[in-house]
Structure 1
């Protein structure tokens, strides 16, 4: 649809968002009190029945809308089924659903399996005949923990003039268990995301959204999932643009690569290996008979299942099944992915989030020990390229190794493969004074642009305090993300030009004059070194 939108999201993002941020802050604690729910606009009819949300002066929210039946009892470890229909009165959609079952790796553990719900935020007033892009958010947490409603997207919805949907999906063992007795096992979380996208296709118009213009975006584990959906045959036609934040299809990590103590791994696991792990878990749970294993597993209390789970930092997604036939990095290399524009990026200092929690006594000897356990006979080579003396401390040197080896260079590999066939816009979030929010990062640790540091610039997820320059950057990022959703191109009049990705040049996003500029990452993150080492 032609639209003089090239300037409108810019105007809304730069004026409205900056004003909202300046007056009410950027955390859930600073969100203005909601106006009383009004009859006009508070009730929306979905395909399953009417929902009553909350009407704010500039936006509407609808929370806890079921997009699939509760995956409990006989529906545990099955493909998501349609939700039960209802009629009048409208379903209360003023409060979010409880988080999906997860261990203590997140903020709060949970045993709740009835969690397939989503939240919709729309700008006001809705303009008839002008359907808005829909942006569907997959939260991070390594597919092990997290919750959709922790991300308040109203600044993105208002400033970008878009409809934003945040989705909860099965996590950990409940979403990604592999076992030969379970059909299409190891991919239930991905199937949940696809069910949510189908719900969006059916219901977007009722909320003022355009079902023919859907952007799927996610960060960290959610970014990995966007990669998976890009290559999943079953996601064909369910979305039209993709944004991948700090989650690479090509990512792998050595021992200690994600955080000290974490074993070597990848976001992806082959079906045979996943099913072998599943059989071991089933045996520990007393479900050893192959003929009855599925029924046995479904009868177990959620607490028993979760207790036996190892509690990984990141739960791998199984490939080699109908949902994800191929390993995503190999699919990208072969060109087996859905053709659409992609916006992709990372933070400047990804690894500093985990390094921040190293003991203050962490010294050079311990740094060299971790490198030895991670890289074996190549440890001296890595230590020579990343000497602690060049980074100010052994902890910061380890963080640089993690940033470059696990995050920046693999994502750069993805961007090259994608850019050979589709438009790609690549970035590096580089505000090295980004606020910590609720992360318990020690005050004296230079966290820099740590993993997830960009999220408060797009969402209200926790109370943070921004400088005027950071508020300006947040408004600009809203313009870029929403502009990409509108047009498949983040550029608009008045914004610093964002060139398409080429070679290793990406757009650096930092506050202040000259903070938004092209940079080359191969030297900054030693990507040539890592390519040669592997």
Structure 2
């Protein structure tokens, strides 16, 4: 869920501050026990015991792959060792290695390839739709256990699975001679989806009706998997929240001195960056020697460079083609898509843009705005200033936030929807609650609006805490859960009832339909996102 800015403080990193049929191994008795709402379910590797939580059962920390340690570091995920006794699944498993951020104190545990299952209690009339949630966090932080899916599972009568995957240098490191360079985190996600195919029936889920969903890095992962040959048949619909195949940024967008870049990088680039990382850590010599040296380093020595290698690579077995090009040419799995973004994505980074000390940052000032406008846009500066006049914004920070939101987030999400809608059903949303629950206990330093990740409160309890919603916001949350789970069940969010949700269509439609999601009367309505976010201007500027 993070705005691709490794300098953002703890308080603004999304969750931070809140912190076949049955598997061949499952015997009939266990299947009956599971279907009847029991707390013990047998997976292919052994039985797990979960716990009741009101209307749902929760199973946490279930291994889906072996610990990627020692010789398995930077290798494809392998099956875990089976266990004989019933495994306790009442507590979350370890988060993957990361620095302090979303996970207080961070994590140093590489034995982290585990997942969590939340399933309604009682006997289902038929197998339930399955939603596999991939967390955000810029590919260098986060945990599946941060997302409490009780409301989604109970209201939507769905099975929700949240997964961990390798992050940063552990998940996306590359080096010449290293097979799988830059793809380990994506392969972990495929391993988790494969586990779901083989085991989810024991939890009441339908392996033939799986929706892959995620936000920010999780949404970008969904787009990547939509173009990956190895993911074929592992899911049947996809939800991409604030994340597309073409997310990228210009100079200075999220912090001063930020270099322009795209999230997906060519394999050669990822390997060259990894070579530099290895040399900095003292691993030199031939390729085999460097890789062996890197595998021998303790986690403590890799955490300082965690964010140096966090870009998925393309031009390989996992992503043969740059994902944005795959969408453009139709080389992707032809599946229904639900996609969208928040109205004020970039207030999150702009609120801490100017540094006033080691532990204190403040919103962008007029002086900084003038400086970065010239550095970022050069000859186009005057055109951008005219499109976003100072008189239209209460501060330089809000003006810059609008520019970055439109160019970085709204534009890429909208273009992706257009490419997909030529071939598959697409339902597009625009989350626009002007005062959603805060993502931090600290008072905001500027109006945040519908900032990056703010829609997550409406779908999940975050960090073990339910959201503080007023009556209209609770109604919106119920509508959104209804939309999301109806899409998971049928491929059509509108079947949940309430305001209808037409498809996003480009052919023959001057303004493709986008559903605004906001509380209050008239909050759920059609919206012209292209006008709201100046997308025609950015399309002209890109020519």
TM-score, normalisation: structure 2: 0.88
Q: CA 1:197–1:508 in structure 2 vs 1: closer, same or farther (change >3 Å)?
A: same
Deviation at 1:383? Answer: 1.8
1:334 matched to which residue of 2?
A: 329
1:24 matched to which residue of 2?
A: none
The one of 423, 430, 433 aligned to 1:421: 423
1:50 matched to which residue of 2?
A: 47
On the 8 A contact 1:51/1:91 being kept in 2, the answer is yes
Give yes or no for the alignment of 1:460 onto 2:455.
no
Q: Secondary structure in 2 aligned to 1:291?
A: helix
Q: CA 1:256–1:126 in structure 2 vs 1: closer, same or farther (change >3 Å)?
A: farther
1:318-397 to 2 correspondence within 5 Å? 318-359=313-354, 360=362, 362-397=364-399
1:5 matched to which residue of 2?
A: none
1:476 matched to which residue of 2?
A: 479
On the 8 A contact 2:483/2:496 being kept in 1, the answer is no
CA–CA separation in structure 2 for the residues paired with 1:332 and 1:218: 18
Q: Secondary structure in 2 aligned to 1:505?
A: coil
The one of 56, 70, 73 aligned to 1:59: 56
CA–CA separation in structure 2 for the residues paired with 1:91 and 1:394: 55
The one of 194, 198, 211 aligned to 2:207: 211
1:518 matched to which residue of 2?
A: 526
CA–CA separation in structure 2 for the residues paired with 1:492 and 1:426: 15
Q: Kindly provide the CA deviation profile for residues 206-254 of structure 1, in whole angstroms up to 9, marking residues without a partner as x.
A: 0000000000000001111001000000000000000000001122110
Q: Kindly provide the CA deviation profile for residues 427-484 of structure 1, in whole angstroms up to 9, marking residues without a partner as x.
A: 0001011111436451x62111111010000000045321100000000000000000
CA–CA separation in structure 1 for the residues paired with 2:73 and 2:211: 29
Q: Which moved more, 1:208-217 or 1:264-273?
A: 264-273
On the 8 A contact 2:363/2:397 being kept in 1, the answer is no
Deviation at 1:263? Answer: 2.3
CA–CA separation in structure 2 for the residues paired with 1:110 and 1:136: 23
Give yes or no for the alignment of 1:277 onto 2:238.
no
CA–CA separation in structure 1 for the residues paired with 2:37 and 2:101: 42
2:76 matched to which residue of 1?
A: 79
CA–CA separation in structure 2 for the residues paired with 1:516 and 1:361: 31
Give yes or no for the alignment of 1:308 onto 2:305.
yes
The one of 399, 424, 428 aligned to 2:401: 399
CA–CA separation in structure 2 for the residues paired with 1:218 and 1:434: 19
The one of 198, 222, 226 aligned to 2:222: 226
Q: Kindly provide the CA deviation profile for residues 72-128 of structure 1, in whole angstroms up to 9, marking residues without a partner as x.
A: 01100000000110122x10000001211112454432222110000000011132x
Q: Secondary structure in 2 aligned to 1:454?
A: helix
For structure 2, which runs of at least 5 residues remain unmatched after alignment? 1-16, 20-35, 355-361, 507-511
Q: CA 1:183–1:477 in structure 2 vs 1: closer, same or farther (change >3 Å)?
A: same
Q: Secondary structure in 2 aligned to 1:511?
A: coil
Q: Which moved more, 1:356-365 or 1:392-401?
A: 356-365
Q: Kindly provide the CA deviation profile for residues 296-331 of structure 1, in whole angstroms up to 9, marking residues without a partner as x.
A: 11111111122234x36x921111111111111011
Deviation at 1:348? Answer: 0.7
Give yes or no for the alignment of 1:499 onto 2:499.
no
On the 8 A contact 1:364/1:388 being kept in 2, the answer is no
On the 8 A contact 1:100/1:171 being kept in 2, the answer is yes
Deviation at 1:261? Answer: 4.3
The aligned length equals 495
Cα-Cα RMSD? 1.9
On the 8 A contact 1:118/1:148 being kept in 2, the answer is yes
On the 8 A contact 1:437/1:463 being kept in 2, the answer is no
CA–CA separation in structure 2 for the residues paired with 1:361 and 1:234: 43
Q: Secondary structure in 2 aligned to 1:492?
A: helix
On the 8 A contact 1:105/1:144 being kept in 2, the answer is no
1:202 matched to which residue of 2?
A: 198
Deviation at 1:397? Answer: 0.4
